[in-house]
């Protein structure tokens, strides 16, 4: 079997791991739909490469308003790798206690809000404290982790907690310990991670379930849709309407901040 074939086989196994979590996916969709139907926001946070899953949720084609993507550039803009804005600094900041509370100081969270916090290891300080702070402020939390990797990892949280310790629902990407899934003969360490594959499956499965619930409740979502599918005029109208709705939903989280 070639490395590519092995990776594809491992990825197919992740699909089975996600399918086995359909009850938790539906429970998550119930929670998120309830928040959105109330005119409120599902806050979505991820640091490092977990940013990918935040942006997968919103805004992109096939997604819709109701989700508040919280992405800190200092924790995610590391494509320069070294030098200013490099990976070393991002990894350092990801484990600075108190940063999560400073991030959430920018939002007047509401009763009935919900949150999705993404971290493959579930052990870095900022995402753990983000979930902790959400729960402290009455927001229900869904944690998206790689369960085997998270359970095998050592947390850096000052209280010894992991992300799953501050979660009302836990979703598992199914990725293995260490994330990478392919072993190459003659190479000591494995390559080709799986958490993004499993994570994208989970995020979009939840998204689809939420869309159904909103539609059945008489509030069909404004979905960002390609012009090639609905025509350029309709696509532009959907984008504008979705962005306007996002702005209206987000405004109350700033309106009485600190009052």
Structural domain count of the chain: 1
pLDDT of 10 strictly over 80? yes
Mean pLDDT across 125-151: 97
Separation of alpha carbons 218 and 213, rounded Å: 9
* Per-residue model confidence as pLDDT tens digits over 29-55: 999 999 999 999 999 999 999 999 999
Decide: 202 and 169 in contact? Cβ < 8 Å: no
pLDDT band at 59 (very low <50, low <70, confident <90, very high): very high
* Per-residue model confidence as pLDDT tens digits over 155-182: 999 999 999 999 999 999 999 999 999 9
Q: Supply the pTM of this predicted model.
A: 0.96
Mean pLDDT across 135-164: 96
Decide: 106 and 257 in contact? Cβ < 8 Å: yes
Mean pLDDT across 135-140: 97
| Residues in CB range of 126: below 8 A, 6 or more apart | 47, 75, 93, 94, 95, 96, 99, 100
Separation of alpha carbons 76 and 114, rounded Å: 23
Separation of alpha carbons 31 and 42, rounded Å: 9
What DSSP designation does 142 have? E
* Per-residue model confidence as pLDDT tens digits over 66-78: 999 999 999 999 8
Domain that holds residue 183: 3-255
pLDDT band at 258 (very low <50, low <70, confident <90, very high): confident
> Quick one: tokens of 183?
């072993």
> Quick one: tokens of 217?
């409740």
pLDDT of 259 strictly over 80? no
Separation of alpha carbons 237 and 49, rounded Å: 32
User: What's the mean per-residue pLDDT of the chain?
Assistant: 96
For residue 88, the domain's CATH number is 3.40.50.10490
Separation of alpha carbons 103 and 115, rounded Å: 14
pLDDT of 224 strictly over 90? yes
Helix axes 22-37, 195-216, angle to 10 degrees: 50
């Amino acid at each position: 079997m070639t490395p590519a074939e092995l990776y594809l086989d491992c990825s197919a196994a992740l699909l089975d791991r996600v399918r086995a979590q359909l009850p938790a996916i539906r429970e998550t969709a119930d929670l998120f739909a309830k928040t959105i139907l109330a005119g409120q926001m599902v806050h979505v946070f991820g640091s490092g490469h977990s940013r990918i899953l935040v942006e997968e949720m919103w805004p992109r084609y096939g997604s819709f308003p109701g989700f508040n993507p919280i992405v800190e550039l200092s924790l995610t803009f590391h494509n320069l790798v070294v030098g200013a804005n490099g990976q070393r600094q991002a990894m350092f900041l990801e484990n600075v206690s108190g940063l999560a509370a400073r991030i959430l100081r920018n939002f007047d969270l509401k009763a009935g809000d919900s949150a999705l916090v993404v971290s493959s290891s579930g052990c870095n300080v900022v995402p753990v404290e983000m979930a902790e702070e959400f729960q402290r402020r009455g927001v229900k939390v869904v944690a998206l982790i790689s369960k085997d990797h998270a359970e095998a990892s050592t947390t850096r949280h000052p209280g010894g907690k992991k992300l799953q310790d501050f979660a009302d629902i836990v979703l598992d990407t199914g990725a293995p310990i260490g994330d990478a899934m392919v072993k190459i003969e003659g190479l000591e360490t494995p390559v080709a991670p799986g958490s993004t594959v499993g994570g994208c499956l989970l995020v979009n499965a939840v998204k689809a379930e939420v869309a159904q619930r909103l539609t059945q409740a008489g509030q069909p979502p404004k979905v960002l849709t390609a012009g090639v599918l609905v025509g350029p005029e309709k696509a532009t109208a959907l984008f504008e309407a979705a962005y306007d709705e996002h702005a209206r939903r987000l405004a109350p989280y700033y309106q009485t901040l600190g009052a």
